[in-house]
Structure 1
Amino acid sequence: MLRLRNYWIYSAGLGVVWAIALLIIFASRGPATGRVFLLVFGRFCIGWVSTTIARFVYPPPKRWGAMQHIS
């Protein structure tokens, strides 16, 4: 199960959930409301891409436990 804890798997899952949500919204509310949710989805994508870039440019720091043994 630990190998499934992956950022790319989480991203794919979010994509599937957004696709299902947009399909339901377009089917039940119509194209006018659907376009509003497409704008929300587009803004979400911009933020997601931004955080993905930040994850690769600024990786998380090493664990604090490893730093204590250096002294």
Structure 2
Amino acid sequence: MRRNYWTYSAGLLVAWALVFLLVGLLRGGHEVQVVLPVFGGFCIGWVSTTIARYVYPPPKQWLS
């Protein structure tokens, strides 16, 4: 299995899709709107860490 950032990102996308699906099915459409700010905050954090990875890459010894 490939251990990289894009694989992890795709897995998180699938996980969030499942969260929205389950909340929508079990709790209804109104509850999905309650989860949206949480997802928005997660996206802001994810973009922030992505920028940090490109600006401050890890030392080469950790990449091996």
TM range (shorter): 0.7 to 0.9
For residues 14 and 63 of structure 1, what CA distance do their matches in structure 2 show? 27
Larger radius of gyration: 1
TM-aligned CA deviation for residue 61 of structure 1: 2.0
Structure 2 length-normalised TM: 0.87
C-alpha RMSD of the superposition:
1.4
**2:18 equivalent in structure 1:** 20
Distance in 2 between the 1:20 and 1:32 partners?
Answer: 16
The equivalent residue for 1:48 is 46
Q: Which runs of 5+ in 2 are unaligned?
A: none
Q: What is the distance in 1 between the residues matched to 2:59 and 2:3?
A: 19
Paired-residue identity, % = 65
Alignment: residue pair count: 62
Q: Which runs of 5+ in 1 are unaligned?
A: 65-71
